[in-house]
Amino acid sequence: MKPLLSIGGLCCLLSVVTWAFNIPTVNFAGIWIRDNNKVEGMNTPLPDLTWIITQDDNQFSIEQVGSFKSPPKEVYNLDGTQKITEITDSHPPRTITRSAKWLNDGQVLELTTLSVSRGDSVTKPITFVVKDQLELAEGGNVLRVRRTVSIPDLGSSVKIQEIKFIFYKK
In the chain, where the domains are located: 24-169
pLDDT digits (tens, 9 = 90+) for 58-102: 999 999 998 788 888 999 999 989 999 998 877 778 899 999 999
> What is the signed CA dihedral for 58, 148, 142, 61, rounded to 10 degrees?
-30
Closest Cα to residue 88, out of 123, 117, 112, 64?
A: 117
Judged against a pLDDT cut of 90, whether residue 163 lies above it is answered with yes
What pTM does this model have? 0.81
**What pLDDT is recorded for position 87?**
85
Closest Cα to residue 26, out of 99, 138, 108?
A: 108
Contact 146, 164 (CB under 8 A): yes
pLDDT digits (tens, 9 = 90+) for 90-149: 777 889 999 999 999 999 999 999 999 887 767 778 889 999 999 999 999 999 999 999
- Core vs surface per residue 77-88: b (16+ CB within 10 A) or e: ebeeeebeeeee
Residue type at 9?
G
Domain 24-169 coded CATH 2.40.128.20: yes
